[in-house]
Copies of this chain bind each other. A is one copy, B any other.
Amino acid sequence: MCKKCMLLLFLATISLATYAQERPNIIVFLVDDMGWMDNTVPFSGKKQGFNFIYHTPNMERLAAKGMIFTDAYATPVCTPSRLSLLTGMNAAHHGVTNWTSPRKNQPTDNADSMFLPANWRYNGITTGKPDRTSFAATTYPQLLKDNGYFTVHAGKAHWGPMGTTGANPRNLGYVINISGHAAGHPQSYLSEEFYGNKPGKNSAQSVPDLEEYYNTGTFLTEALTLEALKALEFPVNQQQPFYLNLAHYAVHAPIQGDDRYLQKYIDAGMDIREAKYATLLEGMDKSLGDVMDFLEQHHIEKNTVIIFMSDNGGLSLSSQRGGAAHTQNLPLRAGKGSVYEGGTREPMIVAWPGQVAAGTVTHQPVIIEDFFPTILEMAGITGYKTLQTVDGISFMPILKKPGFKDDTRTFVWHFPNKWIPRDGPGINYCSAIRQGDWKLVLHLRDGRRELYNLKQDIGETNDLSKLNKEKTDELYKLLVTKLKVWNAPMPVLKSTGKPLILN
Contact = CB atoms under 8 A, between A and B. Distances in A.
Report the interface size class on chain A: 35 or more
B175 A212 contact: no
Interface string A169-203: 01100011100011000000000001001011111
B8 A212 contact: no
A209 interface: yes
Interface in A1-57: 1-2, 4-5, 8-9, 12
A163 interface: yes
A174 to B, nearest CB: 10
B4 A2 contact: yes
Interface stretch (A226-234, A353-361, A450-458, A467-475): A226-234
Given A170-B231, A204-B199, A208-B208, A216 B176 contact: no
A213 B163 contact: yes
Q: A-B pairs with the 3 shortest C-beta distances?
A: A202-B202, A168-B212, A208-B208
B148 A214 contact: no
A165 interface: yes
A162 B208 contact: no
A199 B203 contact: yes
Interface in A64-83: none
7 contacts: A12-B12, A145-B234, A162-B194, A162-B215, A163-B212, A163-B213, A175-B231
B4 A212 contact: no
Contact of A2 (B5, B12, B230): B5
Interface of A: 1-2, 4-5, 8-9, 12, 102, 104, 145-146, 148, 150, 162-165, 167-168, 170-171, 175-177, 181-182, 194, 197, 199-204, 206, 208-209, 211-216, 227, 230-231, 234, 237-238, 240
A383 B1 CA distance: 33
Nearest to A208: B208
Given A9-B12, A163-B213, A197-B202, 20 more contacts: A2-B2, A8-B9, A12-B12, A150-B234, A162-B194, A163-B214, A163-B216, A167-B212, A168-B211, A171-B230, A175-B176, A175-B234, A176-B176, A177-B209, A199-B202, A200-B200, A200-B202, A200-B203, A208-B208, A209-B209
B146 A237 contact: yes
A85 B209 CA distance: 23
Contacts of A237: 146
A146 to B, nearest CB: 7
A162 B227 contact: no
Contacts of A148: 238
A208 B178 CA distance: 11
A230 B167 CA distance: 15
Contacts of A181: 211
